[in-house]
Amino acid sequence: MIPYGRQWVDEEDIASVVEVLRSPWLTTGPKVEEFERAVATLVGAEHAVAVSSGTAALHAAMYAIGVGPGDEVILPPMTFAATANAVLFQGGEPVFVDVEPDTLLIDPQKVEDAISSKTKAVVAVDYAGQPCNYHELRSICEEHGLVLVADACHSLGGSYRGNPVGSLADLNVFSFHPVKPITTGEGGMVTTNNPEFAERMRRFRNHCISTDYRQREKEGSWFYQVTDLGYNYRLTDIQAALGISQLKKLPAWIERRQEIARIYTEAFANIGEIEPLREQSDIFHAYHLYVVRCERRDELFSKLRSKGIGVNVHYIPVHLHPLYRERFGTGEGLCPLAEEAYREILSLPIFPALKEVEVSKVIETLLGILKQ
């Protein structure tokens, strides 16, 4: 089966992990800081805080902002459930706002319409790797005094109007799960230019302990204080070493993803039944996913799967999950454009190691099914 996404780990990656295994620091050591600096430099942000997953990164972002009971956070339903779950972790309430039908990115006008006196933040999701309309989102958030968070789990390596993803929102969240642009096995990071946010997240990932281990060693002290409720969301040096090594390949990998996307888009140009999502102008698309809309989605899904093409559906709109229906009374009709898209979307295989012949096989198999 050709999967929809897959990691690429080479001998150089393996050697850098092995080197850490032979070193004194397996966690909370120099590789974590080196990885944070490398990502911060790449995306043009002042601070980067590494954590144990993209979900932990979202949670840390909600904590940094101070989301709590009584606060609303605006976000799109066309995302992985973790985006909204992070709001719930902190006791806040997610407010789902519909997407634009041709990009599946959050609609800035609808964001503005959903703002209330309880709104604390907006989370934009760079769906499929395409940066959202940050120009409009920023100006709306500035006008209303809201924090803008980018769920950039799909879009590391992308850019918007020449500015890299990771520098576009107040807090920018990444995941290093194996299907994502680079991997550390599990892992995540938040980038920000706000030193206070960064400091809060550094404490949050380590039980909100007031001093870290090395600081205490240096001062010859055993004393520490738990100042708030935090978690163990630390990334290991083993994972960070893999991340540092993977990051070097990111630009070439994004180029390759774009090349595959171009081949697909050209192949479907005259096929009325297959509609690729629209690319906005003046963006650099990271193409974590290649998504098409098609009315015969369910038929295509099962026939492609039976022929060894691992297509997938991203995503079931979050407000349709039982957790949200039961807790917040959400359901059909809340975000009709996302719900309609959900019935038609199909993610085709796209990842840097995908071979030319495999891309051709996906296209030929898909077109063959349509002719039946």
Cis peptide before 342 (omega within 30 of 0): no
Residue 40 as a binder of ligand PLP (CB under 6 A): the answer is: no
User: CB–CB of 123/143 below 8 Å?
Assistant: no
Q: Which of 55, 172, 239, 312 binds ligand PLP (CB under 6 A)?
A: 55
Report the distance separating Cα 101 and Cα 179, nearest Å.
25
Residue 39 as a binder of ligand PLP (CB under 6 A): the answer is: no
Considering the complex, state which of residue 307 and residue 321 has its C-beta at the smaller distance from ligand PLP: 321
- The number of residues that bind ligand PLP (CB under 6 A) is 14
**Chain position whose Cβ is nearest to ligand PLP:** 54
Residue 177 as a binder of ligand PLP (CB under 6 A): the answer is: yes
Residue 157 as a binder of ligand PLP (CB under 6 A): the answer is: no
**20 SS3 class:** helix
Specify which residues 163 forms β-bridges with: 160
Least distance from ligand PLP to the Cβ atom of residue 315, Å: 8
Residue 154 as a binder of ligand PLP (CB under 6 A): the answer is: yes
Report the distance separating Cα 16 and Cα 98, nearest Å.
43
- Scanning 53-61, 107-115, 141-149, 270-278 for contacts with ligand PLP by CB under 6 A, the matching segment is 53-61
Q: Which of 51, 75, 125, 254 binds ligand PLP (CB under 6 A)?
A: 125
- Scanning 41-49, 80-88, 230-238, 294-302 for contacts with ligand PLP by CB under 6 A, the matching segment is 80-88
Least distance from ligand PLP to the Cβ atom of residue 188, Å: 5
Consecutive H or E run containing 327? helix 322-328
Compute CA distances 87 → 65, 98, 183, whole Å: 11, 18, 25
Q: Which residues contact 352 (CB under 8 A, 6 or more apart)?
A: 8, 249, 252, 253, 256, 257
- Scanning 150-158, 269-277, 304-312, 316-324 for contacts with ligand PLP by CB under 6 A, the matching segment is 150-158
Q: Which of 4, 80, 160, 197 binds ligand PLP (CB under 6 A)?
A: 80
Cα–Cα nearest to 51, from 180, 237, 189, 186: 189
Among 31, 110, 118, 180, which one carries the catalytic annotation?
A: 180
Residue 175 as a binder of ligand PLP (CB under 6 A): the answer is: yes
Residue 31 as a binder of ligand PLP (CB under 6 A): the answer is: no
Q: What sign does the CA torsion over 202, 207, 209, 211 have?
A: negative
Whether 218 sits among the annotated catalytic residues: the reply is no
Q: Which of 7, 28, 83, 133 binds ligand PLP (CB under 6 A)?
A: 83
- Please report the DSSP string for 255-314 in residue order: HHHHHHHHHHHHHTTT-TT-EEPPPPTTEE---S-EEEE-TTHHHHHHHHHHTTB--B--
The angle at the Cα of 304, spanning 298 to 306, to the nearest 5 degrees, equals: 105
First to last CA, the chain: 22
Burial of 321 (C-beta count, 10 Å sphere; 0-12/13-18/19+): middle
Beta strands in 196-263 (DSSP E): none
Residue 79 as a binder of ligand PLP (CB under 6 A): the answer is: yes
Residue 72 as a binder of ligand PLP (CB under 6 A): the answer is: no
Least distance from ligand PLP to the Cβ atom of residue 79, Å: 5
Q: Which of 48, 50, 74, 82 binds ligand PLP (CB under 6 A)?
A: 82
Q: Which residues contact 217 (CB under 8 A, 6 or more apart)?
A: none
Considering the complex, state which of residue 36 and residue 151 has its C-beta at the smaller distance from ligand PLP: 151
- Scanning 67-75, 77-85, 91-99, 247-255 for contacts with ligand PLP by CB under 6 A, the matching segment is 77-85
Residues assigned a catalytic role: 180
Q: Which residues bind ligand PLP (CB under 6 A)?
A: 53-55, 79-80, 82-83, 125, 151, 153-154, 175, 177, 188
